[in-house]
Amino acid sequence: AQSVTQLGSHVSVSEGALVLLRCNYSSSVPPYLFWYVQYPNQGLQLLLKYTSAATLVKGINGFEAEFKKSETSFHLTKPSAHMSDAAEYFCAVSDRNTPLVFGKGTRLSVIA
């Protein structure tokens, strides 16, 4: 069965600092991996996804993630945090036969 673990339910960074949100997955078959963002009172929006092409995936708003099979990880990074990045971030996994399974989410706070 697919599962996702997001390390840290809350991450706080200063404006301009590196953002690193951690995600580890479990999958018995080649996975598809996603990061979604949820702003307050809104639905989920896709940031980026990995579907077995390049292991370094670039997404919207300056975010990127690297698929590391040996570490079963798909961590999300952004070099410089903006106040507008404050939101809830969800890592998710699926495979050819299984719909998206989400992690518990990580709330990102950005301090001025």
Partner 1 sequence: DSGVTQTPKHLITATGQRVTLRCSPRSGDLSVYWYQQSLDQGLQFLIQYYNGEERAKGNILERFSAQQFPDLHSELNLSSLELGDSALYFCASSPETGGYGNTIYFGEGSWLTVV
What order of strands is seen across the sheet that includes strand 3-7? 3-7, 19-26, 73-78, 64-68, 56-58
How near is the Cβ of 5 to partner 1 at its closest, in Å?
12
How near is the Cβ of 104 to partner 1 at its closest, in Å?
5
Output 43 or 56, the one with its CB closest to partner 1. 43
- Per-residue DSSP letter, 52: S
Output 81 or 92, the one with its CB closest to partner 1. 92
Distance separating the N- and C-terminal Cα atoms of the chain: 41
Name the residues that contact partner 1, by CB under 8 A.
32, 34, 36, 41-46, 49, 51, 90, 94-105
In 3D, which of 17, 1, 10 has the Cα closest to residue 105?
A: 10
Output 23 or 81, the one with its CB closest to partner 1. 23
